[in-house]
Amino acid sequence: MNFIAQLQACSHSRLCVGLDPEPAKLPGAWVGDAGRIYDFCCSIVDATHDLVCAFKPQIAYFAAHRAEEQLERLIAHIHKVAPGVPVILDAKRGDIGSTAEQYAREAFERYQADAVTLSPFMGFDSVEPYLRYEGKGAILLCRTSNKGGDDWQMQRLADVPGQPRLFEHLAFLAETQWNRNGQLGLVVGATYPGEIARVRELAPTLPLLVPGVGAQGGDAAAVVQAAGRAAPLVVNSSRAILYASQGADFAARARAVAEATRAALS
């Protein structure tokens, strides 16, 4: 099943568990041991996979610790234990076409991800190579959850009719001429529910990946209200779930937080 169909088929949850493993925060005897990243993430996956609509490993947490091979095995594990649950590789890639071809190959062939996050800053020809992978998703940063997103994303484009803000223009392009094969989605931070509603107006059919509930303080109910229920909504929480406990009960506590977050998003 392709990425968008997988999301559309998920009626029981809007929760995406983010897999951002930091060796210093691993539980018990695993603390500080980058060789245990796979074991830790698999424990979280096994404890939560029936509660989620997606998993989102952030590649930096693996690459920084020379754990890319553990990431490959982790994604294979997710596909095995939760075959209907898509994996969104959070890589935020963005480069010229020839390099983008290699990044796309990395995401979809090496890691076997179902979707990848991209920075659209370099324009459509930096996105297009990912769209050659039939059925795979490409999720573009639109209105990010951090304060610094204001520096670019809230600026108005004087040369475009109506002088939209940059994030608004990107949402329009992604809904229309850029979405050639129906593979695009958008990232909009939970910390900006007003902008989630605006993106939903401009891009009513696109899946939204919404990071920022949990550790960043975004309000789950406000996110659901702003996004509406028509198109897929994938709300990510990473640290609040992963590090609910550093004790022997870490997987059970992660599950409890995931259950509460899923309920808040229903």
Residues that bind ligand LLZGTKA7 (CB under 6 A): 18, 20, 58, 90, 144-145, 187, 189, 211-212, 214-216, 236-239
Q: Which two tokens stand for residue 238?
A: 């990473």
List Cβ neighbours of 201 (8 Å cut-off, separation of 6 or more): none
SS3 call for 10 = coil
Dihedral sign (CA 118, 152, 221, 250):
positive
| Nearest alpha carbon to residue 14 among 244, 228, 203, 242 | 228
Which residues belong to the active site?
92
Which residues lie across from 117 on neighbouring strands?
139
SS3 call for 266 = coil
- Select 18 or 129, whichever has its Cβ closest to ligand LLZGTKA7: 18
SS3 call for 150 = helix
- Select 135 or 154, whichever has its Cβ closest to ligand LLZGTKA7: 154
- Select 92 or 97, whichever has its Cβ closest to ligand LLZGTKA7: 92
| Nearest alpha carbon to residue 12 among 52, 44, 45 | 52
- Select 181 or 215, whichever has its Cβ closest to ligand LLZGTKA7: 215
Smallest separation, CB 234 to ligand LLZGTKA7 (Å): 11
Measured at the alpha carbon of residue 17, what is the angle toward residues 22 and 185, in degrees to the nearest 5? 115
